[in-house]
């Protein structure tokens, strides 16, 4: 009898997991939002929701790039520091009076180039991306410090500030950027050979090599993308704050990776989607906002975020134990 | 009382074959072979017996007592040891440590290394194999690794030993040694369940043979009272028998001309020619260098020197991309790690090398992709619930058909096949070779490397014998002779 009951409860647990598979972010988001709207009268007001989106949009941009990296089974820890470096580069361009276009193109180039260097070291030098990007994390923020001597730079042109603070039909520009780029990234992942190759080499790098996929080249591309998205995040952040600071983006790599993992991607590669990542980003934003509204100290927010990453990966592992077949990840 | 009895066991998976009310009896001291096509249920049955899967209904009895477990260590604790086909040793540890892995003996809290070595010596001695317990497992050949795995299982009290395709990567000497070891075990009243696709070996080593087909137990036969033909017909149940050579006219056109090709994978420079519509066999022992020749032709080793011409034009084969562009396609030896993408569906696996061709304006056209996949599932008669089924749900033979299909979409001129039927059953083997024959009739040329000479003799138009990294001789079809070629492979001639 006991074993039968045990079987039944196990089976129920199994069903729940299968049902949750792929929807767990949505359910989590709905539950947390529901709870928050009860706990705080401010939560469901449009100014508050817009501020949530403004706050997460930078993380969201980083997380798009990170999704590409994680799909290949690699990781990029340098994105937070690249936010600071690219922000400083953009600010210097503004201060030098170079105008809007160079203030965007230069930091993007810096981000892309850094990504290319990371990618080449990972692909050709066979150094684990964890190590390379951990090193670059220090180097990038260090260069930002060297360039500014640690002083913030502020006072930018109106058109530049519009990127971070502007609105179109009362929708914040960063949000529009995030949505458009999410859709573009999704199309790239699903409908281009490059995107499909990433899923393939994330699943089995050996089989990818044997299938004639240029694994090294795809890896470099992925890190270039991640660096470029990080730089875009840096541009948006400095534009919104009207200031470039060397401490900008501190710890953002953790949030970006959390968003990707909560969004259903597997850290071992081959599984994940950028829509999932967008939802993961919103989830993180809602949690952070909720904790702020409930007057929880920002120190605790870090604790919560760290714990959420571990939980998300744990959930992913539990999900993998269920025999496949019914559902698709 | 029987040693092990399986009574009316059933098991179902979503979208795959199942076991249907299977009965099976293993006696102490016998080698009981379990045969059947891929997908017949052999793997499922042994996974239930070894605690990897749980039966849906039915019961298993060990020495008359019903047993129930749902993890491999529980099965092992009861005395059921399994040597899986894809076992893995810890390559960075010694033989002795591998044998005691997971239950290292301790003394005062620290590992007792003397006891570890003593245990290894004892069990290797009992198997009478001259293996150094202090050797690194990673430095051993596959056959030796297998012996270490057997020693590992044997170092615990084992009543039932399950061996899944234990000879698939062994040389014939290693097979002989393995069979000797099995005999020693049965003398000690161990019951052995032996799963193999190689009927010849089954008849050599087993006492009884049970045949599974489509998840059902067809029958159990006493080995010396039954003919191989009867077993094959029980396995196939009316399906047609393995492919035979088709007489055909090979044109004189040289499709591939290799002169003094050398590269990082090759020990010696090689030269040979391949004609249009020809199936060229590479015969050689494990480690003779046949896989390396195929690998070099597919650009796996990096930069090469020497001349390679495809249909008269010089080509460079320094990367797989260049090889694909030159019209090469490779079905690799290790399907699990090199052939398939385990995280993807049948559709996604099939389109990978064909993506560029399926795009319109830079984007993959869903309708073209769908058409491509449907056509190829039909053309290669892949048995799958649908295009979106995860590839890992398919049987080995059907996974291999997907690997074939994915390459044939790239319209290659030369198909390189490295052990394409390894771990694949008789029926699927016949289907795969029927596919190869069809492709050849369309003008494709094939280089086929295999450790099963019988298969090469059945299928090839010409055979190159490879030994110590060199092509030592060329045998035309009218000189095909099993003993003769084997002797050349082994260096006896």
**Selected residue of A70, A207, A271 to mutate for chain B interface (largest B Cβ count, 10 A):** A207
Q: What is the pLDDT of residues A96-137, one digit of tens each?
A: 888 888 989 999 999 999 999 999 999 999 999 999 999 999
In this prediction, residue B84 carries a pLDDT of 82
Residue A11 lies in a domain: no
- Residues 267 through 326 of chain B touching chain A, CB cutoff 8 Å: 298, 300, 319-321, 323-324
List residues bridging with B309 in a β-sheet: B257, B314
In this prediction, residue B246 carries a pLDDT of 64
Cα B409 from chain centre: 24
**Selected residue of A210, A218, A327 to mutate for chain B interface (largest B Cβ count, 10 A):** A210
- The three-state secondary structure class of B184 is helix
B31-35/B208-213 β-pairing: parallel
Q: Name the burial class of residue B173, with classes exposed (0-12), middle (13-18) and buried (19+) by CB atoms within 10 angstroms of its CB.
A: exposed
The predicted complex's ipTM stands at 0.79
Residue B344 in contact with partner chain A when CB distance is under 8 A: yes
Residue A286 lies in a domain: yes
Q: How confident is the model at residue A206 (pLDDT cuts 50, 70, 90)?
A: confident
Residue A34 lies in a domain: no
In this prediction, residue A329 carries a pLDDT of 32
In this prediction, residue A2 carries a pLDDT of 46
| Maximum separation of any 2 CA atoms in chain B, in Å | 76
Asked if A56 contacts A207 with a C-beta cutoff of 8 angstroms, the reply is: no
| Domain assignment of residue A136, given as a range | 40-320
Residue A96 lies in a domain: yes
Q: Report which of A164, A181, A134 is spatially closest to residue A54, judged by C-alpha positions.
A: A164
Q: Report which of A92, A224, A217 is spatially closest to residue A147, judged by C-alpha positions.
A: A92
Length of chain B: 493
Residue A1 lies in a domain: no
C-alpha B204/C-alpha A203 separation (Å) is 40
Q: What is the pLDDT of residues A278-329, one digit of tens each?
A: 999 999 888 888 888 888 887 887 788 788 878 877 877 776 665 443 333 3
In this prediction, residue A235 carries a pLDDT of 95
Chain B residues in contact with A209 (beta carbon < 8 A): 300, 320
- Residues 200 through 219 of chain A touching chain B, CB cutoff 8 Å: 200, 202-204, 206-214
* CB atoms inside a 10 Å sphere around CB A254: 18
Using the predicted structure, report yes or no on whether residue A53 has a pLDDT greater than 50: yes
Residue A315 lies in a domain: yes
Q: What is the pLDDT of residues A143-170, one digit of tens each?
A: 999 999 888 898 888 888 899 888 888 8
Q: Do A199 and B341 touch (CB under 8 A)?
A: yes
- Please state, in angstroms and as integers, the Cα–Cα distance from residue B259 to each residue in A126, B271, B291, B307, B489, following that order: 33, 4, 18, 5, 22
- The three-state secondary structure class of B219 is strand
Give the total number of structural domains in chain A: 1
In this prediction, residue A321 carries a pLDDT of 63
Which of B13, B340, B356 is the closest to A207 by Cβ? B340
**CATH (domain of A143):** 1.10.3470
Q: How confident is the model at residue A22 (pLDDT cuts 50, 70, 90)?
A: low
Residue A328 lies in a domain: no
B31-35/B191-195 β-pairing: parallel
Query: pLDDT per position in chain B (493 positions), as tens?
Result: 789 999 999 988 766 667 999 999 999 999 999 988 767 888 889 989 988 888 888 999 999 999 887 787 888 888 898 888 777 788 888 899 888 887 788 888 888 888 888 888 888 887 777 788 888 888 887 778 888 888 888 788 889 999 988 876 677 777 888 898 889 889 989 999 999 877 778 899 999 999 998 889 999 999 999 988 788 778 877 654 444 566 677 777 889 999 999 888 888 899 999 999 899 999 887 677 888 999 999 998 888 889 999 988 999 999 999 999 999 999 988 888 888 998 899 999 999 988 888 888 889 999 999 999 999 999 888 888 889 999 988 888 889 999 999 988 888 999 999 988 887 777 888 888 888 988 888 889 999 998 778 888 888 999 999 887 889 899 888 888 777 787 777 665 5
Residue B441: both structure tokens together = 């009739």
Residue A13 lies in a domain: no
Residue B437: both structure tokens together = 């024959």
- Within 8 A by CB and 6+ apart from B111, the residues are B104, B105
The answer, as to whether pTM is greater than 0.90, is: no
Asked if B479 contacts B451 with a C-beta cutoff of 8 angstroms, the reply is: no
Q: Write out the E strands in B135-196.
A: 160-164, 191-195
Residue B35: in which H helix or E strand, if any?
strand B31-35
Q: How confident is the model at residue A31 (pLDDT cuts 50, 70, 90)?
A: confident
């Amino acid at each position: 009898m006991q074993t039968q009951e045990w079987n039944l409860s196990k089976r129920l647990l199994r069903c729940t997991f299968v049902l949750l598979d792929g929807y767990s972010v949505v359910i989590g988001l709905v539950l947390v939002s529901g709870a928050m709207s009860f706990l705080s009268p401010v939560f469901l007001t449009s100014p508050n929701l817009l501020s949530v989106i403004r706050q997460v949009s930078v993380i969201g941009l980083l997380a798009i790039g990170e999704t590409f990296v994680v799909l290949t089974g690699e990781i990029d820890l340098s994105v937070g520091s690249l936010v600071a470096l690219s922000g400083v580069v953009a600010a210097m361009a503004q201060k030098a009076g170079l105008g809007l276009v160079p203030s965007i193109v230069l930091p993007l180039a810096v981000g892309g180039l850094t990504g290319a260097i990371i990618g080449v070291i990972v692909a050709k030098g066979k150094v684990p991306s964890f190590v390379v990007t951990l090193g670059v994390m220090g180097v990038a923020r260090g260069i930002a410090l060297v360039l500014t001597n640690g002083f913030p730079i502020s006072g930018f042109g109106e058109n530049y500030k519009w990127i971070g603070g502007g609105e179109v039909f009362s929708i914040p520009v960063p949000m529009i950027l995030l949505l458009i780029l999410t859709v573009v990234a999704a199309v790239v992942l699903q409908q281009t050979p490059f995107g499909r190759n990433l899923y393939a080499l994330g699943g089995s790098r050996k089989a990818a090599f044997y299938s004639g996929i240029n694994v090294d080249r795809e890896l470099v591309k992925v890190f270039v993308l991640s660096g470029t998205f990080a730089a875009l995040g840096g541009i948006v952040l400095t534009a919104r704050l009207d200031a470039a600071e060397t401490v900008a983006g501190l710890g953002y790599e953790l949030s970006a990776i959390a968003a990707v993992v909560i969004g259903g991607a597997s850290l071992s590669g081959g599984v994940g989607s950028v829509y999932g990542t967008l939802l993961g980003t919103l989830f993180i934003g809602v949690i952070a906002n909720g904790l702020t509204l409930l007057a929880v100290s920002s120190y605790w927010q870090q604790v919560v975020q760290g714990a959420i990453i571990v939980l998300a990966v744990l959930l992913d592992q539990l999900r993998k134990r269920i025999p496949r077949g019914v559902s698709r990840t | 009382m029987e040693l092990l009895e399986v009574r009316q066991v059933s098991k179902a998976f979503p979208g795959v074959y199942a076991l249907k009310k299977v009965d099976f009896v293993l006696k102490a001291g016998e080698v009981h072979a379990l045969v059947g096509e891929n997908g017949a249920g052999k793997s499922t049955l042994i996974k239930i017996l070894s605690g990897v899967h749980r039966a849906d209904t039915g019961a298993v009895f060990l020495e008359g007592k019903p047993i129930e477990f749902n993890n491999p260590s529980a099965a092992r604790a009861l005395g059921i040891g399994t040597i899986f086909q894809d076992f893995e040793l810890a390559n960075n540890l010694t033989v002795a440590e591998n044998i005691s892995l997971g239950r290292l003996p301790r003394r005062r809290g620290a590992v007792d290394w003397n006891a570890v070595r003593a245990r290894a010596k004892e069990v290797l001695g009992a198997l009478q194999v001259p293996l150094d317990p202090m050797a690194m497992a990673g430095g051993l050949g596959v056959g030796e690794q297998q012996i270490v795995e057997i020693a590992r299982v044997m170092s615990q009290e084992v009543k039932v030993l399950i061996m899944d395709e234990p000879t698939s990567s062994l040389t014939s000497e290693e097979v002989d040694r393995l069979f000797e070891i099995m005999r020693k075990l049965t003398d000690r009243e161990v019951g052995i369940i032996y799963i193999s696709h190689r009927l010849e070996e089954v008849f050599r080593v087993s006492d009884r043979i049970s045949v599974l087909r489509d998840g059902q137990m067809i029958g159990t036969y006493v080995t010396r009272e039954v003919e191989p033909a009867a077993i094959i017909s029980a396995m196939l149940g009316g399906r047609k028998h393995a492919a035979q050579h088709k007489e055909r006219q090979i044109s004189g056109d040289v499709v591939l001309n290799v002169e003094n090709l050398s590269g990082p994978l090759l020990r010696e420079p090689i030269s040979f020619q391949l004609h249009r519509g020809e199936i060229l066999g590479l015969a050689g022992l494990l480690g003779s260098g046949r896989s390396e020749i195929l690998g070099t032709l597919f650009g796996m080793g990096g930069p090469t020197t020497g001349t390679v011409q495809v249909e008269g034009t010089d080509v460079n084969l320094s990367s797989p991309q260049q090889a694909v562009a030159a019209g090469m396609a490779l079905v690799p030896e290790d399907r699990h790690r090199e052939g398939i993408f385990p995280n993807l569906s049948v559709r996604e696996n099939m389109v990978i090398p064909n993506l560029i061709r399926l795009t319109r304006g830079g984007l993959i056209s869903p309708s073209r992709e769908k058409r491509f996949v449907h056509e190829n599932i039909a053309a290669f008669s892949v048995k799958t619930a649908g295009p979106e089924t995860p590839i890992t749900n398919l049987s080995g033979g059907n996974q291999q058909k997907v690997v074939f299909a994915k390459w044939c979409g790239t319209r290659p001129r030369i198909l390189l096949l490295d052990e394409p039927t390894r771990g694949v059953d008789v029926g699927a083997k016949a289907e795969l070779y029927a596919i190869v024959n069809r492709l050849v009739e369309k003008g494709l040329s094939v280089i086929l490397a295999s450790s099963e000479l019988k298969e090469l003799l059945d299928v090839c138009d010409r055979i190159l014998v490879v030994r110590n990294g060199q092509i030592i001789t060329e045998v035309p079809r009218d000189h095909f002779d099993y003993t003769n070629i084997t002797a050349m492979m082994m260096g006896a001639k």
